[in-house]
Amino acid sequence: PHGQQHWHEGHPECGGRAQSPIDIGTAWAQPDLSLPPLQPEGYEHPESPRLTLANNGHTAVLALPPSLRLRGLPHTFTAVQLHFHWGRPGHAAGAEHLLDGHRAPAEMHVVHFDAERFTDASAAQQHPGGLAVLGILLEVWTPHPRPPPTHASQPLTDPHSLPQVGDDPHPTYDNILRHLDSIRYAGQTVAIPSFSIRDLLPVHLNRYYRYNGSLTTPPCFQSVLWTLFPQPVRISRAQVGPALGGGPALGEHNPSAPPFPFQLEQLQGSLYSTEEAEPEEPQLLVDNFRAPQELNQRLVLSSFPRGEQRGGKGPLHPSMAPGAPAGHKVLALTPAFPLQSQKDIPQVGPGWEAGLGGRPSTPLTPSRHHT
């Protein structure tokens, strides 16, 4: 049998009590204002002139050079790669983490390993706190029109009467998205020009949620210190790209097309989970996200006061009760690091590589699994 509900049969840790992703209730996350801002180093100017983008059959993975480091955590962490999670055409939700039950259209993960304790990510992923992953929620940029002019003398072409947007889209994502046509099939790679990885991240790196969790695919090692930013990054209309087969993008030159959010899925529909040489019909790479897992009394911290996750607007859904939902018991505030003692997290036993072809099946290597 296949499917997420069967992962634990071949990978017992997938049935553990510290799994990811989770649905974060913004009303019950525990504020800890002592959490420091994250400090990326080398992100603006990666030392490599070119970066490798790959389709590993499960996601699009961009390998990152070791010159990228992350501080503001218990130790200094070294970047390994970044990758994406998305849904399918016709469904506007594909992120892994949820905020108050809301699932964003997509999510980007930037994976790091503890370089002070381990020599590489493959070793680090087997130990609690060995990995640190940044979760960035991606929304589709939609212009919001201003009210109509109040004076007849004000021309309709006045810039202030045209559609505006509060948060500008991130053109930096074009550095990745425009190359997806070169990796349409599993196993394909392409070298792309280097660019500022920092520009892919939210502006405010001092506002985030923090919890102990796991890789989101087998072997589901419970070794990840998660940082999820509540501020989404918005990608532009131009970044949703052409439709599969070279046609117009969904919503472009098509008056009957769905609104903006569906264009993202059309972009993601340009990748296949199968190899080009496989005789079967190519399979679209869709729905590469895991269902939310139980919190199981883990503590979720926020680096900002409660109710200020998006500019002080309060919970994403006002109906969210101030108490934690079932399965999401809140603990008393504990020191920020570690959030959970290592003895409470199951250790990985020997022989974990046996069912994975002798190699870790996470995006740390070009396999079909990811975090």
Q: 366 CB contacts (<8 Å, ≥6 apart)?
A: 54, 56, 61, 187, 189
Written as one letter, the residue type at 222 is Q
Written as one letter, the residue type at 61 is V
Render the burial of 61-71: b for 16+ CB within 10 Å, e for the rest.
bbbbbeebbbe
Backbone angle region of 72, left / alpha / beta, with phi > 0 → left and psi within -120 to 50 → alpha: left
CB atoms under 10 Å from CB of 274, counted, come to 17
Catalytic site residue from 2, 6, 8, 58: 58
**Quick one: which of 86, 92, 166 has its CA closest to 370?**
86
Q: Which helix (H) or strand (E) holds 50?
A: strand 50-55
Contact between residue 72 and residue 39 where contact means Cβ atoms under 8 Å apart: yes
- 58 catalytic residue (yes or no): yes
Q: Give catalytic residue positions.
A: 58
